[in-house]
Amino acid sequence: AQSVSQHNHHVILSEAASLELGCNYSYGGTVNLFWYVQYPGQHLQLLLKYFSGDPLVKGIKGFEAEFIKSKFSFNLRKPSVQWSDTAEYFCAVTGSARQLTFGSGTQLTVLP
Amino acid sequence: DTGVSQNPRHKITKRGQNVTFRCDPISEHNRLYWYRQTLGQGPEFLTYFQNEAQLEKSRLLSDRFSAERPKGSFSTLEIQRTEQGDSAMYLCASSSRLDSGNTIYFGEGSWLTVV
């Protein structure tokens, strides 16, 4: 069975600080990896995804993530956060199953 | 808006009552999913349809829960004899078999409060 761990439950940063959110997955086969964001009062939106090719994936709003197969990791990064990035961020994986398995999420609060 | 549409957006019901949620997926998406999300947690998979066939069901889906997708387009999720523990956000999502990465798009969810 596949599983996802997000170790940071709540991250608080000041504007312009750099961001890195950790994501580790457990699955022995080929995976597709995703980061979703949920802004307050809004639905889950796809930030970026990896399913093959370049392990460094660029997404919307300046976010990027790097797939490191040897570490079973898919960490999310942004060089300089903005107040509008305040949201909950979910890492997710699909393996043999078609459905997504989500981590428990990381709440990011960016202070102006 | 051509995204995934869910209704009602909010439902308050008394314990023991039945509730039904409807989901309209993105047009021509043949795969449809139901998830449940509680505060502070990530969404948990409930069930998956490919066209009208229900192919997977989570152990979370007790016999009080039933989902249908009769014509392979919209879907309904019914909860019978609701319990307070059923209070959650019920999310519908869809994807296309033509997308090799199987990107899954989510609706805004239906909030259920059981009192």
Average pLDDT over residues B36-49: 92
| pLDDT-based confidence at residue A97 (cuts at 50, 70, 90) | low
Of B41, B95, B100, the CB nearest to A104: B41
Interface probe with A: pick from B104, B105, B106, most Cβ of A within 10 Å: B104
Q: Is B5 exposed, middle or buried (0-12, 13-18, 19+ CB in 10 A)?
A: middle
Say whether residue B101 is in contact with chain A using an 8 A CB cutoff: yes
Measured in degrees and rounded to the nearest 5, phi and psi for residue A28 equal -85, -10
Whether residue B28 has pLDDT greater than 80 = yes
Average pLDDT, chain B: 92
Average pLDDT over residues A53-67: 95
Higher-scoring residue by pLDDT: B7, A94: B7
How is residue A4 written in tokens?
Answer: 């996802």
Of A51, A94, A103, the CB nearest to B42: A103
Q: What is the pLDDT of residues B81-105, one digit of tens each?
A: 999 999 999 999 999 887 776 788 9
CB B48 within 8 A of CB B27: no
Work out the number of other CB atoms within 10 angstroms of the CB of residue A7: 11
Work out the number of other CB atoms within 10 angstroms of the CB of residue B85: 9
Average pLDDT over residues A44-48: 93
Interface probe with A: pick from B23, B47, B89, B103, most Cβ of A within 10 Å: B103
Q: Which residue of B has its CA nearest to A48?
A: B103
Whether residue A28 has pLDDT greater than 70 = yes
